[in-house]
Amino acid sequence: MTRSPSEQDPGRWRPTGRRVREGVRAAAVPVVAWAVALAGLTIWTASGAAGSPPRIAAGNGRVFLPYGNSRDTAAFFDITNIGGAEDQLTGVTSPDIEKALLSRHRSSGFGADTMEMTGSVRISAGGTLAMSPFDVSVMARTRTGWEAGDTVPFVLHFRHSAPVKVFAVVVRPGG
């Protein structure tokens, strides 16, 4: 009489059909997740979004002529992000400025507006930040006296991009 292989070696483990199906199912979950992630990354890369860092350009700099004996003023710039990822303006410096802070104008809707300091300002991918007295500005204290028409050098600092040098023209408020 011949014995089956499992009867010949009782200590030898043989998978059953049920165990094989469970093993295949358990292995299929991470393989399918990997395939979906790979497909998503492939589509993202093919669309041009992957690996496209922020690219910052700035211009149209203006700074208000301080009024009277005050050395406090505000500066404004147009900042464009022509890259594929967002960035943040984190600060502004200038050799002609003692102190500069980013600020945001807030309207309460009841005629009482406020100005609050902000640590950074978001510039979306493909977007433009057009600073103005009614939105985002740079509050600054001058080191020296200026006259209308003077140009003042500034350096804009960003979280991900290199600093950008830009000049601002001294203008009279409302002019």
pLDDT of residue 40: 82
The count of other CB atoms within 10 Å of the CB of residue 105 is: 15
pLDDT of residue 109: 72
Q: Kindly state which CATH superfamily the domain 56-171 is placed in.
A: PCu(A)C copper chaperone (2.60.40.1890)
Per mean pLDDT, which range of 7-11, 40-44, 116-120, 152-156 is the poorest?
7-11
- Alpha-carbon distance 156 to 94, whole Å? 9
The stretch 85-96 carries a mean pLDDT of: 94
pLDDT of residue 1: 54
- 36: phi > 0 → left, psi -120 to 50 → alpha, else beta; which? alpha
- Alpha-carbon distance 65 to 147, whole Å? 7
The count of other CB atoms within 10 Å of the CB of residue 39 is: 10
pLDDT of residue 34: 87
Give kind and range of the element (H or E) at residue 157.
strand 151-158
Q: What percent of the chain has pLDDT over 90?
A: 52
**pLDDT band at residue 64 under the 50/70/90 scheme:** very high
